[in-house]
Structure 1
Amino acid sequence: MSEGGLGAPTRHPLDWKNPEFYDEAKLDAELRRVFDICHGCRRCFNLCDSFPRLFDLVDASPNGELNTVESKDFKPVVDACTLCDMCYMTKCPYVPPHEFNLDFPHLMLRYRAVEAKKGEVDLADRELAKTDRNGRLASYIAPLANFATNSANKTARGLVEKYVGLDKEAWLPKYASKSFEERAKEEPVAVNREAPAAGRKAVIYATCFANFNEPDIGLAARAVLARNGVETEVLHPHCCGMPLLEQGNIAEVAESARIVAAALRPWIRKGYDIVALVPSCALMLKSEWPLILPDDADVKLLAKATFDLSEYVVGIARKEGLAPGLAPVATGGVALHISCHSRAQNMGQKARELLKLIPEANLQVIERCSGHGGSWGYKTENFETALKVGAPVARQAAEGGKAIVTSECPLAGLHIAQGVDRLDGGKEKPRLYSHPIQLLAEAYGL
């Protein structure tokens, strides 16, 4: 509910095809309008580094007000935004339909879109955003790629930092020699036709990360769904475009949306649900794409048919009931991080509900930003800030003493594990699971 009214928060489509969207004078006027409201409110002070930077910037100005801040000094505020949407979704009282009509993340996106249109995105960043290409190439030489990107390899990582801009200390995800799509073709699963949910059909949208980095997430999801009677197909037509969105390249995100939506349309028409394995990708399909292409029929159809993985499994449990056979696992308990892009889907703590399906579940739920922000947290100029923002999550996970730590966002989970590793607590470090679905698969003995 927005402050001063009973209307539910809503969001306007991005007017990215309008030339005024890229008008720098109009952008500056809107930045000043919004920053002035934020500076007077300060409810978002503890969400990310954008807001402390903004407040410090204004407080240090000659008169302590925004009118004596130079526009060129806004860039660090914009650069610190990870587009997590938590200010919009959880803190801001001035989102539409409030008359202030404030959408901080999409304003930061507009700033970056202007930068992108002017050719100001670094070449290295543009290349890093080509996740499908990078994943396919790295899979051919996975052992070598993983050796070169291991943080213990100081020489190689020093070169990666120098030429690519990824901090040499950051734990980077590994690459798999075979993609999830390939393994799904080679490793058939038997669908349990006696399960309460038998008859359901779903396309698993593999996502770049599960496809090229962590196929075990997809394999666990497919096995759990098969045990529960769900017939599945595994497809990865194209990246969802989240890395491109972070850079303000909205036109290429729109093209990604058209490609994926067109590829999945026939499956939806045949009665298949679409299940995205990573929250960021689910958010793109459900929410961001319809705001970028509000008149595209395929995008609208896909948005209505898409489910986050945890959301989908919990939906089966609620509607039909899960197949029997779950046994206790994870002796020592689980520290569960609720990722920002899970929260931004406005679906509740579905990962918590998922793990509560396991008998004798011993959960510690942490609902706060991990600080990672996708590729943002790997960058040399952001890495220490990312660890600082995520430090409260790492401390909670360390002090909770659970045997396992996991997050629906695998990048957030890896970042939290590194934060825990940096703490000098003398305790045994929790084991990292890339997604809670892997624990459910274990509980089924899969």
Structure 2
Amino acid sequence: MREGSLEAPTRHPLAWQDPDFYDEAKLDAEMRRVFDICHGCRRCFNLCDSFPRLFDLVDAAPSEELDTVRSEDFKQVVDACTLCDMCFMTKCPYVPPHNFNLDFPHLMLRYRAVEAKKHGVPLVDRELAKTDRNGKLAALAPAVANWASDAGNGLTRPLLEKRAGLHREAALPKYAGTSLTAQARAQAPAVNEAAPGFGRRAVLYATCFANYNDPGIGRAARAVLAKNGVATEVVHPRCCGMPLLEQGDIAGVARAAAEVAAALGPWIEEGHDVIALTPSCALMLKFEWPLILPQDPAVARLARATFDLSEYLVDIARKEGLAPGLAPMTEPVTLHIACHSRAQNMGQKGAELLRLIPEAKVTVVERCSGHGGSWGFKKRNFEVALKVGKPVARQAAKQAGGYLTSECPLAGVHIGQGMEKLGGEAPKPALVAHPVQLLARAYGLME
């Protein structure tokens, strides 16, 4: 139960189409109101770097209060926010319906939207956010793209750091030669008609990452779902817009939401559930889009029909029971619960999923990895991202051997880099991109 309110937290729609949303004086007044509450509470001091930056500003001010903090210094607080939503979901006692009506992440988003409207989004950031375009281009020559982006490439990575602002040591996502949607068109797994879940139908929203970077997540998901009687199709109308949200381009997110909702609408009408393969995209479809387009019935219908991948498989296990054939897992696994999984307010579905495997020994880490999507790749953020994620890396490194996984594949790679920084002679756990791949291995569906 939250201090300060006895009711469940709720979120208000974003008033991004209201001219007052972009009024700088009104924004500054709201920033000062919220920051003063945060300064008086300080419960979120260890969540991310935004709050230490805010509290340091206040403590260094002449009056040691917010009234003598300069408004132009607020930007450093905003720039450290990764929109993980953890302050809203897990820490803040003053979220709606409390009369303080505090929504820190959406206030940071508003500040960025005002910045974007006033100054525009920098060219490099705009280009990096074109994930569909970038994925299609990289697929034309994936070996070249992966060579150029490899952290060990002393020729290209310094150039990327200088021109694109991507830290030369940050592990960037690799690209696949064939997209998940193309692979799905070529071969659909045979559905097990004897499975308890037979009769379910689902459409997998591929997401940019699973479509262009790691189709293995989607292949494993389809194989496990087919084993459990679920017929699936794979679609990817376009990116969910999370990179645009990070930049404050709310109108761009709204366009993405309308387009994807229109594309998936016929599948929902035919009785298909919608499964998002990564938690950030599931969060967008289920929660962020309805707050951006609250009057759009197609967006609302899609939100009701959408499941996170782990959430959907656990739902089958609870309602129908999983198909038999899972082999015991003899090696331990550390599971990182990603922030955008936690923000969906669905419980530790990744842990529940792994514990369906006989004899599974699962250690759960429920703390931010520090990565924050594309935020953690940036030169100005990478070292901070490692610092924020260091407690997670330490805990993961305690497990000698076995597996490390996270429902957020970017978080998993970042934790791996954090473990490398810690050093040590003990063997590190092997990284698995998503828990569903361990379930697929237990079924003998893939190596």
The TM tier, using the shorter chain, reads over 0.9
* Cα distance between partner residues in 2 of 1:161 and 1:392: 27
Local SS of the residue matching 2:107 = helix
Asked whether the 8 Å contact 1:2–1:96 carries over to 2, the reply is: no
Asked whether the 8 Å contact 2:406–2:434 carries over to 1, the reply is: yes
Q: What is the match of residue 430 of structure 2? A: 431
- The residue correspondences of 1:281-320 to structure 2 (distance < 5 A) are 281-320=281-320
Q: Deviations over 1:231-252 (max 9, x none)?
A: 1010000100000000000000
- The residue correspondences of 1:263-282 to structure 2 (distance < 5 A) are 263-282=263-282
* Cα distance between partner residues in 1 of 2:331 and 2:273: 35
1:2 CA drift (Å): 4.3
1:266 CA drift (Å): 0.4
1:425 CA drift (Å): 1.8
Q: Which amino acid aligns with 1:100?
A: F
Q: What is the match of residue 188 of structure 2? A: 188
1:124 CA drift (Å): 0.5
1:155 CA drift (Å): 1.1
* Cα distance between partner residues in 2 of 1:432 and 1:251: 36
Q: What is the match of residue 70 of structure 2? A: 70
* Percent identity over paired residues: 71
1:394 CA drift (Å): 0.2
Asked whether the 8 Å contact 2:5–2:93 carries over to 1, the reply is: no
Q: What is the match of residue 322 of structure 2? A: 322
Pair 1:42-2:42 in alignment: yes
1:428 CA drift (Å): 1.0
* Cα distance between partner residues in 1 of 2:113 and 2:187: 42
Q: What is the match of residue 393 of structure 1? A: 392
* Cα distance between partner residues in 2 of 1:164 and 1:427: 36
Asked whether the 8 Å contact 1:2–1:97 carries over to 2, the reply is: no
Q: What is the match of residue 217 of structure 2? A: 217
1:173 CA drift (Å): 1.0
Q: Which amino acid aligns with 1:90?
A: T
Q: What is the match of residue 415 of structure 2? A: 416
Q: Deviations over 1:307-349 (max 9, x none)?
A: 00000000000000000000023x4311100000000000000
* Cα distance between partner residues in 1 of 2:73 and 2:160: 29
Pair 1:163-2:142 in alignment: no
* Cα distance between partner residues in 2 of 1:119 and 1:309: 38
Q: What is the match of residue 6 of structure 1? A: 6
Asked whether the 8 Å contact 1:192–1:227 carries over to 2, the reply is: yes
Asked whether the 8 Å contact 1:3–1:98 carries over to 2, the reply is: no
* Cα distance between partner residues in 2 of 1:20 and 1:113: 12
Q: What is the match of residue 383 of structure 2? A: 384
Q: Which amino acid aligns with 2:197?
A: A
* Cα distance between partner residues in 1 of 2:307 and 2:298: 16
Q: Deviations over 1:248-301 (max 9, x none)?
A: 000000000000000000000000000000000000000000000000000000
1:4 CA drift (Å): 3.1
1:401 CA drift (Å): 2.5
Q: What is the match of residue 99 of structure 1? A: 99
Q: Note the aligned Cα RMSD (angstroms).
A: 0.8
Q: Provide the aligned length of Structure 1 versus Structure 2.
A: 445
* Cα distance between partner residues in 2 of 1:207 and 1:356: 26
1:402 CA drift (Å): 4.3
Asked whether the 8 Å contact 1:196–1:320 carries over to 2, the reply is: yes
* Cα distance between partner residues in 1 of 2:284 and 2:295: 16
1:429 CA drift (Å): 1.7
Asked whether the 8 Å contact 2:201–2:232 carries over to 1, the reply is: yes
Q: Which amino acid aligns with 1:385?
A: V
1:119 CA drift (Å): 2.7
Q: What is the match of residue 20 of structure 1? A: 20
1:122 CA drift (Å): 1.5
* Cα distance between partner residues in 2 of 1:5 and 1:254: 32
1:373 CA drift (Å): 0.2
TM-score (ref. length: structure 2): 0.99
Q: Which amino acid aligns with 2:408?
A: C
* Cα distance between partner residues in 2 of 1:35 and 1:120: 25
Q: What is the match of residue 124 of structure 1? A: 124
Q: What is the match of residue 349 of structure 1? A: 348
Asked whether the 8 Å contact 1:210–1:218 carries over to 2, the reply is: yes
Q: Deviations over 1:347-370 (max 9, x none)?
A: 000000000000110111100000
Q: Which amino acid aligns with 1:392?
A: P
Superposition misfits of 4+ residues, deviation over 6 angstroms: none
Q: Deviations over 1:159-191 (max 9, x none)?
A: 111111100000111000000001111122100
Asked whether the 8 Å contact 2:206–2:234 carries over to 1, the reply is: yes
* Cα distance between partner residues in 1 of 2:78 and 2:5: 29
Asked whether the 8 Å contact 1:87–1:104 carries over to 2, the reply is: yes
* Cα distance between partner residues in 2 of 1:68 and 1:119: 26
Asked whether the 8 Å contact 2:357–2:439 carries over to 1, the reply is: yes
